Structure 1
Amino acid sequence: MRTISATQRNWVNQRIQEALAKRFPKADIKVKTITGQVEGAYAWLTANYINGSFIHNQKTTGIMDLGGASTQITYASQTGDKLFKVAVGNQEFTLSSTSYLGLGQNLAISQYLNQSACFPKNYPLPNGLKGTGEFDECAAKIEPLINRVHSVNTGTSRPEKNSAFYAISSFFYTGSELGINDTFSLSNLEAVGRDFCSQQWSDVEQGKSHYLYTPHVYANCFAAAYQHALLSKGYQLADDTNNIKVLNELNGKAISWTLGPVLAPDL
């Protein structure tokens, strides 16, 4: 919804509100498109509610959400230029929550479909060329989108050293296909990404490699290089200073932004 014009967005939201009002005539219904910053905050609220941080007054965990159109990074911080406060019960937190529209994995890969380095060896590209599977070259080609176009590395807010993060959505799906969710680190992402990129596409497609074939497996060379560049070159996270866990649920409950509005309805 955030990728379309405000006029289109308002029209869609109005039609949704009208349809809901007809079905639930006694309800007070409001429909709006939330900002990326609020979406990140909602995901942070959900994760820290589920892990018990609010109940046990523990140090909270940051969250990184990689969707199709945008990506968000949200964590508790007292410094930065995009801070805002959120109340949960009788507790108040100051959050740094930043969203980058255009850096979702689907929109990002759409700009690199003819970049040979970003796809397994001999994968057929739209322009008729073949993939060459060069992880390092792919990551180098992607970094300008992250840091020159979207200026991810120039933000004034930086996570504290030894900060913990949950990485969800496309981080989880890519990690699942590459088999590193339980052992995730930037170095492991780099190693397995380099290995996947070097595979012959015919072997992957025919199930002859050690990577399970799925309809989206072709994108994992790009995805690994992109995620590594985003985390290390954009957010400037590192294995020795940050703890990143890749998951999609905690204590049997899915992590998404949708519980957030219940916890902080006034955002």
Structure 2
Amino acid sequence: VHDLGKVVAMLLSHCLASLTTIHSVPCIGPEITGLFYPQYGIVLDAGSSHTNLYVYEWPAEKENDTGVVHQVEVCKVEGLGISGYSHDTEKAGLSLQHCMKRAQEVVPEQHHRETPVYLGATAGMRLLSLQNRSIADRVLSAVEKTLRSSPFNFQGARVISGQEEGAYGWITINYLLGNFKSSRGTSGALDLGGASTQITFVPDQEPIESQENSLHFRLYGKNYNVYTHSFLCYGKDQALRLKLSTQNGSLLDPCFHPGYLRIMNISDLYTNPCIANGEQQLPFTQLHLQGNGDYQRCRMTIQKIFNTSSCPYSSCSFNGIFLPPLQGEFGAFSAFYFVMNFLNLTTEKSPVPLDKATSTVESFCSRPWHEVKAEFPKIKEKYLSEYCFSGTYILSLLENGYGFTMEKWQNIQFLGKIGSSDAGWTLGYMLNLTNMIPAEKPPTRPLSHASYVGLMVFCSLVLVAVLLLSWLAFHKPKCLQKGLI
């Protein structure tokens, strides 16, 4: 009995030591079950052309695990992006009400007060701030008014920088792919919006020559020296404006389908910070665009908006911006994915070869407008008419702007979703603001609810055994006395 008591005492000691390492689990009380409820976060992506609201969910006991946060809802806000309400700023806030009500339906009512809500505005608001800072501030105030009136825990609405947008997109895709806790390295991120485009990756070259394009992260005990750059005015919508600003009067436009006609006001084109010359004194007030669907000529006109004449570094993309040699796999999302998916150039397996992508876009551009319109009657004319330009622009940007050769093109994967979550910057933004990715690797993995209960039952049984043996050792019942002598 004495020896057995030693063994049981040792087991009890180990059991108690294990229990003392569980910092996050209360010992008693009704709160114990609350720890394992799901938690929620809401992020609004206020882009240049529209706003999306995302609702994320994760189990509280796995808060610092990669890949456990998943998207449970996306709500597309009707109407313009918030920067489009510069002439009626109050409507910027009112436009969000429908999706905020949808979020209240998705997030259980008992979690409303603890659920953080963030709004990040991107390149559309960056441009509006450059054009008229006071109007941009009024737009944000209207947005804040609506978000503060919701039952959620409003954490702020602000214009994020292009560098932040690139970095958060990189964090999102690597978090969802589980790269931060693996040995396979990280993936680069390619993001394309309406007003800006971002490229972000970890290069082999160190140090990064241009410090303004360099970011340092320490995540899960690993250091990452990240290259990132955001090209304001080179999102697909603003790039089209840049291209059109190089043309004059009535013309055949190679980037629209044969038979397509569009009339644009000169004032709409030139009153924009992206057009360097400002509003020009022209003898006409409108542009009459008539498509002729010539891919090769379209690509030539697009090349004019990329300045590759000088590079103050060892290597550049365009406009004198440093770009280190491309390294590793890349995930291309947002408009990169939407445009290429429409053109049937996305695949879950091996990427579509560059030459096939080129021939596909070329063939699509040459199709008559009446034929394209008849095939896709449910797509808004503005979007449908611009797929030829957008597809050509994407190929030109990736191949000529960033240097994705035919070989390196195979490293690009066009991503709509990773699991249940959209690829984009919003998840990375929330993870950063809620400190859900630790700088250091957690020393011990917190126990799950089932493991905790199992350990408590085991320790209880050991304790009962110790008490029983102690009683037997001191009282020595008659039936055992002979065996003990």
- Is the pair's TM-score, using the shorter chain for normalization, greater than 0.5? yes
Question: Residues 257 and 385 of structure 2 are in contact (CA less than 8 Å); yes or no, is this contact kept in structure 1?
Answer: yes
Other-structure match for 1:204? 372
Other-structure match for 1:226? 393
- 1:55 aligned to 177, 181, 190, which one? 181
- 1:158 aligned to 324, 344, 354, which one? 324
| Alignment CA distance shift 1:36-1:69 (3 Å) | same
Q: Are 1:117 and 2:254 matched, yes or no?
A: yes
Task: State the Cα distance separating 1:94 from its structure 2 match.
Answer: 1.1
Between Structure 1 and Structure 2, whose CA radius of gyration is higher? 2
Other-structure match for 2:233? 102
- 1:4 aligned to 124, 128, 147, which one? 128
Distance 2:227 2:262 in 1: 39
Task: State the Cα distance separating 1:30 from its structure 2 match.
Answer: 3.7
Q: Are 1:247 and 2:439 matched, yes or no?
A: no
Question: Residues 80 and 96 of structure 1 are in contact (CA less than 8 Å); yes or no, is this contact kept in structure 2?
Answer: no
Equivalent residue letter for 2:384:
V
Question: Residues 177 and 217 of structure 1 are in contact (CA less than 8 Å); yes or no, is this contact kept in structure 2?
Answer: no
Distance 1:235 1:241 in 2: 11
| Alignment CA distance shift 1:197-1:56 (3 Å) | same
| Corresponding residue SS for 1:119 | coil
Other-structure match for 2:159? 33
Task: State the Cα distance separating 1:44 from its structure 2 match.
Answer: 0.5
Task: State the Cα distance separating 1:66 from its structure 2 match.
Answer: 0.5
Task: State the Cα distance separating 1:124 from its structure 2 match.
Answer: 1.4
Question: Residues 353 and 406 of structure 2 are in contact (CA less than 8 Å); yes or no, is this contact kept in structure 1?
Answer: yes
| Alignment CA distance shift 1:15-1:217 (3 Å) | closer
Greater shift, 181-190 or 48-57, is seen at 181-190
- Counting matched residue pairs gives 260
Question: Residues 252 and 289 of structure 2 are in contact (CA less than 8 Å); yes or no, is this contact kept in structure 1?
Answer: no
Distance 2:432 2:219 in 1: 7
Task: State the Cα distance separating 1:56 from its structure 2 match.
Answer: 1.2
- 1:72 aligned to 179, 182, 198, which one? 198
Question: Residues 17 and 29 of structure 1 are in contact (CA less than 8 Å); yes or no, is this contact kept in structure 2?
Answer: no
Distance 1:229 1:202 in 2: 26
| Corresponding residue SS for 1:96 | strand
Distance 2:326 2:428 in 1: 24
Gaps in structure 1 of 5+ consecutive residues: none
Task: State the Cα distance separating 1:179 from its structure 2 match.
Answer: 0.8
Higher relative contact order (CA 8 A, sep 6+): 1
Question: Residues 204 and 213 of structure 1 are in contact (CA less than 8 Å); yes or no, is this contact kept in structure 2?
Answer: no
Task: State the Cα distance separating 1:185 from its structure 2 match.
Answer: 3.7
Deviations 1:9-40 (A, max 9, x none): 33433454455456569x58343211011111
Distance 2:337 2:262 in 1: 26
Task: State the Cα distance separating 1:237 from its structure 2 match.
Answer: 1.2
Deviations 1:50-102 (A, max 9, x none): 00101113211001111011111111133241101123232221111100111
Gaps in structure 2 of 5+ consecutive residues: 1-124, 245-250, 264-286, 310-315, 436-485
Other-structure match for 1:181? 346
Question: Residues 243 and 304 of structure 2 are in contact (CA less than 8 Å); yes or no, is this contact kept in structure 1?
Answer: no
| Alignment CA distance shift 1:52-1:251 (3 Å) | same
Other-structure match for 1:170? 335
Task: State the Cα distance separating 1:107 from its structure 2 match.
Answer: 1.5
Distance 1:159 1:93 in 2: 17
Other-structure match for 1:262? 430
| Corresponding residue SS for 1:259 | helix
Distance 2:141 2:338 in 1: 33
Question: Residues 40 and 73 of structure 1 are in contact (CA less than 8 Å); yes or no, is this contact kept in structure 2?
Answer: yes
Distance 1:238 1:148 in 2: 17
| Alignment CA distance shift 1:160-1:106 (3 Å) | closer
| Corresponding residue SS for 2:412 | strand
| Corresponding residue SS for 1:194 | helix
Distance 2:289 2:162 in 1: 36
Question: Residues 202 and 227 of structure 2 are in contact (CA less than 8 Å); yes or no, is this contact kept in structure 1?
Answer: yes
Greater shift, 8-17 or 136-145, is seen at 8-17
| Alignment CA distance shift 1:177-1:16 (3 Å) | closer
Q: Are 1:134 and 2:275 matched, yes or no?
A: no
Distance 2:136 2:291 in 1: 38
| Corresponding residue SS for 1:87 | strand
Distance 1:60 1:52 in 2: 9
Question: Residues 86 and 264 of structure 1 are in contact (CA less than 8 Å); yes or no, is this contact kept in structure 2?
Answer: no
Equivalent residue letter for 1:60:
T
